[in-house]
Amino acid sequence: MDYQIQRGDNWRHVVSVRVPAEQVRPELDAKYAELKNIRLEGFRKGKVPAHLVKKMYGKQVEADVFRPFISEAYQTIFKENEFDLLDSPELANLHFDEQQGLTFEFHFDVRPVIPTPDYQGLQVDRYIFSVSDEEVAQTLEAMRRQNAMVYNVEGEAQTGHFVIADLQELDVSGVPILGQRLEDRVLELKEGEEITTQLVGIKAGEERRVQLSMEKPVESQLVQTQTPQVQQAFYLVAAKEIKERRLPELDDEFAKDMGEFDNLQALQKAVSDRLHYQAQSESAEHFRRSLEDELIKRNPVQPPPSMVEKYLQAVMEDARKRSKGPVKEEELRAAFTPMAHRNIAWILLREQLIKDQAIVVSEEELEARFVQISASGKQGEARVQELRKDEAALRRLKDAMEEEKVYDLLARSAKINELRQPWSRYQQRHAELENEPSEMKE
């Protein structure tokens, strides 16, 4: 047996193996000889033609004969060479002929060997978010809306009310369309909306015809546009109930209903503290993300295909669990592949920095973290007990603590540009970017 190692791009390795025919042919002949006396309808014992035996049993015979040669080659190759495997080697291109003998390949990825990352002087922005009294007031107002009570309205529906109604779609002439009836629908009469102007004044038990502009997708293959067409739809609305939502007063009683608060001032302080904590957390998350992106930009890494595939498989599996219908895997793969490359690059660079800088989590640091977790109460104490018993969970905690040290290492030498900004403005801009078409983001 002889073999050759080909080190390809993206850390993909191929080992080509050849076993001489003179070693394999006797084993094949012996295996076929064992089948000489098989019984087959239409033939006397021992008289079944060799070509027919090969046709019927050839694949199984070859599998039985080739298996030991493949196993021996595997043991030899991966004993003589120290490969840091990312996945199990894949057997490929198995073939036998009288001239070349038995040939096959092992395909596998190895963990990338990355040079020491250049991390000194990364230029990053760090946002310092402020939380205004107005944002606190807006949050309290949202809490009032969430705790609003709904009451029946005697009389006419007005803007801001809710109409509980059955809807029957009509054609242009006013004839009901079969199968297009919706029952007990809640119609909110919002300011400035098309349906509001047509239903203001309606009472429970009354009916009205309404005309609405509806966006419907273009189904014709001749129309080369993704913009839906606006079509007119006609409905008969049968009002069953009129309701209104009443907000609770923002006072001490409301504060007590929201939890262990003595008065409204205590609730306002708790809301303010929570918003400040969220703003600081988002600031820290943005800063860490910026450090990652700048490190990746300065130290380009091409992730091995198997790591990308495992990442995407995890995305697919998560999507299948969350989705009630079929998952569009091709679209998901296209959307998440850039993220997979980016996140894997960060993982590889982070691991290299941990190795190069000899970053470890000491027992003293671990115990200090346990004390910090326990301080949150009974749930924290239970969490610590779980960590002490679960090796996998403890390893994840240590990994997270090592990552924190990597961020600290990057931050200490980074060139940081501090930007002060209202948290609400940042959130608004972030939401706008999320809603932009992908081609505008590039």
- 8 Å CB contact between 346 and 308: no
Model-level pTM?
Answer: 0.70
pLDDT top residue among 218 and 278: 278
- Could you tell me whether strands 149-152 and 229-246 are parallel, antiparallel, or unpaired per DSSP bridges? antiparallel
- Tell me the pLDDT tens digit for each residue of 199-235: 999 999 999 999 998 876 544 443 444 556 778 899 9
Question: Domain 149-246 belongs to what topology?
Answer: Chitinase A; domain 3 (3.10.50)
Q: Nearest to residue 169, comparing CAs of 185, 153, 190?
A: 185
Q: Is 202 helix (H, G, I), strand (E, B) or coil?
A: coil
Instruction: Out of 85-94, 124-133, 420-429, pick the least confident.
Output: 420-429
| pLDDT over 90, % of the chain | 68
Residue partners of 280: CB distance under 8 A and separation at least 6: 129
- 8 Å CB contact between 185 and 243: no
Q: What is the CATH number of domain 2-109?
A: 3.30.70.1050
Residue partners of 357: CB distance under 8 A and separation at least 6: 409
DSSP per position, 89-103? PEEEEEEEETTTEEE
The average confidence (pLDDT) of the chain is 88
Ranges of each domain in the chain? 2-109, 123-128+252-300+359-441, 149-246
